[in-house]
Structure 1
């Protein structure tokens, strides 16, 4: 998601501007337990309504045009504003969310980059790039070609962007930025992750040096380095050129609010490597983190889900430990993130799990299965920490109602909408986090555990049907997604009702349903005493001058 117009947290928004930001994890075949490729995506924005986008593919007549409509208009997402038109492709592919029928998946995070390159000339914004590529490409390499050619021909209309692109065999990072006001085209580099590695990005460009004579590993725009030289941003030898350092120079905000999320993923996936925090703490002389690492153990879908659930627990940035967490250890800080006290700037942490997530997913692409069965988008709405990831096949024929476009919107609460139902539960949970999250995770684990356990049988059934009739397999997968989503919706509404019953008015009902009054944690009570103790201290009553009758 976009960071408010080109402000890459230069002081981590110490002036108080709001943050809209996303997080991606990329997993290659050799780094996954089953040989699938995976991408995770948390689409974070305070005004993004979480739904599962769906568009059928088809055949198109010569001369047909495709409208380019603004996907991200300064945080009013999918505004529908017409930016222009391009020729329609003869054949387009069906896309389910950010995965298409060929198991190709594309996600993103916005890094903004140099202000000098703001306002480029063009009609293709980053959201349009993603969804047009999904309609026109079968592989990651094809997607990169589609995206870069579109910006070359029709111009780029966004600030700096990092794209995660994966097919069942390859995983790439594409980083792109415009050329500035009135200049058409884009500057870009794409890097294929070595098999057996994982990577991540979170609103900061991450590709530094890259192979310049190995198109199997890296490809880039022909003017990428010459443009930087003309601007005076790079003067060394070509081999030492760094995309990230040239087009998105690091700031404190980029380190603390963005790269820190990447560090958290790397730290938890590769504890043995003891990747230091000094870089994300902006310590002088600290070395940048690598673009990719080899995890300590190969990852599965559950691991990827859990890596997207994080508030820096157990680290120096642990959001449950400071006074701001309150008595019930709430690992969230309401916006604005930055504030100033007595002339000094301060910041709240920006973790992977955050309250303003519209939707998130874990994509799973499996090369050994036919595409409609092999591609699964584990999809959820709202906060990654409290959501439930539902398996949605890329071969479905329609979206489950609760996730479908048109079921609800950002402007009105709707019990039929998964977005609003999950927000109902999570927002109530924030009021007494350390207690309520236990109840939420119990139901969350129940559903996700069952989905993961049942997936092998779902695959077997779908594969048998596919051998007989591919259409029957797609129908089965469509009905499975619809049924599971409907059951989840009913259970999640009941969970919300249970939480209100159990925790009403600051009380807590015990296992017998009896109302109890557990006291606040002692560390929080000590904070109250330190701040207000002299006023609320209990005193012995003696020596009072009482009026005499």
Structure 2
């Protein structure tokens, strides 16, 4: 298959991702990512996560491996489909499922934008082009970093500031980049390898501060990353302070602390509660120090632990979005956009949680040494809000994806679209969140628990087949991933119809099918009567 045709298959996913990102206002920049090293995971997996947040309908993409002729090229197009340039094709590209390739390399991102004047629309490649090409052309995170930098230097970088998470079977890296400004060449960037046994995360704000200049095992960077900042006036070497990438290219503000650092804080505090990580920094308390780039978790994390870390509304903290009058009578963490508003000349803002109804899709990737690549790499994929969704395992060696994950449009509801089914359940739950969400989570935990319990036997069988009959192994894993994904969608359809019938017109059906009046919680009724005294009195006073 020729490069341009193959590229279109994969870009079904990435184009939709980015349209959502491009259309989102600054106050609601999308995405959160967590990185877990081998030594920090319970089973030796390297894991990264991604929440792609925005109001759009994603399709799960698959790119088959392919061979190409000398002189072949890949067309780079604008959103309108206009060809804006070409990139030379390679002799062979690797297969990709979602954002993980056949060699267990996974890449995710969050956009930090940074200094607006450094965006270079004269460059050819957007950040999603770099992810796409790196997944199709490299085996490891380190190789991907070198290729990304090389492509940006050759063809130009077109996007704003980005943080990439990269994972292979041995290492996890954070790479941060920003453009050179209009007409400039390449990009300024730095990449750090996480120390084994540690975790890190980022959420729409640059996180890399100081970095070693003479440690190529653990740190890579562009040759002008410091001198460019000096020339632009972003850093003064005579000031007596160390150069920090984040300070130079993504200056700290009260807004990005609250919007981005609050999510970072919540992941770190939950992974290492013994460290008593304070919220002071994200609340802009004077003298509070930035959060560390990485920490050692209190215990090694399982895949279920990582799922849980990506499901968070700051529960149990003073920022708990399920509490207060703003959570409504049934404790919903939903906050409709926009994120900010003004009343009596005072600006206010909702919290931005890790779990949000505006998530289009999310993933957790597992990359594991000691297993055949086709078996060791698992792309756990979920649609819509992470809190109410269900992660389904897609092995990186499969050669097809379920149809329900590839159809549908935001313009029209469809029972055939997996995304719409998950979206329907999540949205309907807002009517009586405290009642319906426990029922949804019960189904979620049952299904994910079954997947995790079956995983060792599935992989034992697949590993044996990889030695005796690799083609049969591919068919086995493809059938398992695709058929079970469709079973999950069917279960969610049943869940939707069950919830619609049980929670209808404000009533709640009991076990006999009788509609019961449940009313509102006392604490919320008290807030109502306080806010509107004498309005609801049945006997005038």
Q: Is the 8 A contact 1:125 1:158 kept in 2?
A: yes
Q: Could you list the per-position Cα deviations for residues 486-541 of structure 1 after superposition, in whole angstroms to 9, with x for gaps in the alignment?
A: 21111110100000110000000122222111120111101111122312101169
* Partners of 2:357 and 2:384 within 8 A in 1: yes
Contact 1:50–1:382 under 8 Å retained in 2: no
The residue aligned with 1:232 is: 233
Q: In the alignment, is the contact (CA less than 8 A) between 1:162 and 1:173 conserved in 2?
A: yes
Contact 1:8-1:253 within 8 A present in 2 as well: no
Q: Is 1:125 aligned to 2:126, yes or no?
A: yes
Residue in 2 that maps onto 1:545: none
Shift of 1:409: 2.3
Q: How big is each residue's C-alpha offset from its partner over 1:129-174, in whole Å with a ceiling of 9 and x where there is no partner?
A: 1011000000001100111100100000100000000100010000
**Deviation by residue 1:336-369 (Cα, 9 ceiling, x = unmatched):** 0000000000000000000111110110011110
User: In 2 relative to 1, CA 321–540 (structure 1 residues): closer, same or farther, beyond 3 Å?
Assistant: closer
From the superposition, tell whether residues 5 and 65 of structure 1 become closer, same or farther in structure 2 (CA, over 3 Å).
closer
The superposition leaves residues 285-307 of structure 1 with CA deviations (integer Å, 9 ceiling, x where unpaired) of: 11110000000000011000000
> SS where residue 523 of structure 2 aligns?
helix
2:464 corresponds to = 464
Answering whether residue 54 of structure 2 is matched by residue 45 of structure 1, we say yes
* Matches for 1:471-486 after TM superposition, within 5 Å: 471-486=471-486
Which residue of 32, 36, 52 corresponds with 2:45? 36
More off after superposition, 248-257 vs 100-109: 248-257
Structure 1 or 2, whichever has the larger Rg, is: 1
Matches within 5 A, 1:233-252: 233-236=234-237, 240-252=242-254
> What residue is the counterpart of 2:523 in the other structure?
523
Give ranges in structure 1 of 5+ residues lacking alignment: 14-18, 74-78, 542-549
The equivalent of 1:65 in structure 2 is 73
Pick closer, same or farther for the CA change 1:475–1:455 going to 2, 3 Å: same
Task: Indicate the SS of the match to 1:240.
Answer: coil
Tell me the distance in 1 between the aligned counterparts of 2:21 and 2:391.
28
Counterpart in 2 of 1:395? 397
In structure 1, the partner of 2:224 is 223
Structure 2 CA distance for partners of 1:4 and 1:115, relative to 1, 3 Å: farther
Give secondary structure in 1 for the equivalent of 2:108.
strand
C-alpha contact 1:117 1:159 (8 A) present in aligned 2: yes
- Following TM superposition, by how much is the alpha carbon of 1:233 offset from its aligned partner in structure 2, in angstroms? 1.1
Correspondences of 1:63-462 after superposition (within 5 Å): 63-70=71-78, 80-236=81-237, 240-404=242-406, 407-462=407-462
User: For residues 199 and 148 of structure 2, what CA distance do their matches in structure 1 show?
Assistant: 23
What's 1:544 paired with? none
| Separation of aligned partners in 2, 1:5 and 1:520 | 40
Query: Is residue 96–residue 135 contact of structure 2 (8 Å, CA) maintained in 1?
Result: yes
Is this contact kept in 1: 2:106–2:135, CA < 8 A? yes
Tell me if structure 1 keeps the 8 A contact 2:112–2:160.
Answer: yes
Cα distance in 1 between the residues matched to 2:482 and 2:346? 52
> Structure 2 CA distance, aligned partners of 1:95 and 1:205?
27
- Whether the aligned pair in 2 keeps the contact of 1:44 and 1:358 (CA below 8 Å) is yes
1:507 aligns with 2:516: no
Task: Report if aligned partners of 2:50, 2:109 keep a CA contact under 8 Å in 1.
Answer: yes
**Deviation of 1:461 (Å):** 1.1
**SS of the residue aligned with 1:43?**
strand
CA change 1:192–1:6 in 2 (3 A) is farther
8 Å Cα contact 2:24/2:54 also seen in 1? no
- Decide which moves more: 369-378 or 395-404: 395-404
**Which residue of structure 1 lines up, in the alignment, with residue 6 of structure 2?**
none
Aligned-partner SS, 2:258: helix
Match of 1:24 in 2: 33
Q: In 2, Cα distance between the equivalents of 1:378 and 1:436?
A: 25
Structure 2: gaps of 5 or more residues: 1-16
Equivalents in 1 of 2:273, 2:45: separation in Å?
Answer: 23
Structure 1, 97-106 or 527-536: larger mean CA deviation? 527-536
Give a deviation string over 1:4-44, Cα, whole Å, max 9, x none: 779995xxx4xxxxx13100000000000011100010011
SS at match of 1:478: helix
The structure-2 alpha-carbon separation of the partners of 1:317 and 1:274, relative to structure 1 and needing over 3 Å to count, comes to same
Instruction: Give the drift of 1:466.
Output: 1.0
Give me the CA root mean square deviation. 1.7
Quick one: structure 1 residues 540 and 244, their matched pair in 2 at CA, closer, same or farther if it must change by over 3 Å? closer
Q: 1:6, 1:115 within 8 Å by CA — same for their partners in 2? A: no
Q: Distance in 1 between matches of 2:505 and 2:134?
A: 51
Moved more, 479-488 or 194-203: 479-488
State the distance in 2 between where 1:108 and 1:69 align. Answer: 21
| Corresponding residue SS for 2:533 | helix
Per the normalisation by structure 2, the TM-score is: 0.94
Q: Do the aligned partners of 2:366 and 2:377 also contact (CA within 8 Å) in 1?
A: yes
| CA positional deviation for 1:465 | 1.1
Partner SS state of residue 466, structure 2: helix
1:106 match: secondary structure: strand
Any conservation in 2 of the 1:8–1:113 contact (CA below 8 Å)? no
Question: How far does residue 320 in structure 1 lie from its aligned partner after superposition?
Answer: 1.1
Higher relative contact order (CA 8 A, sep 6+): 1
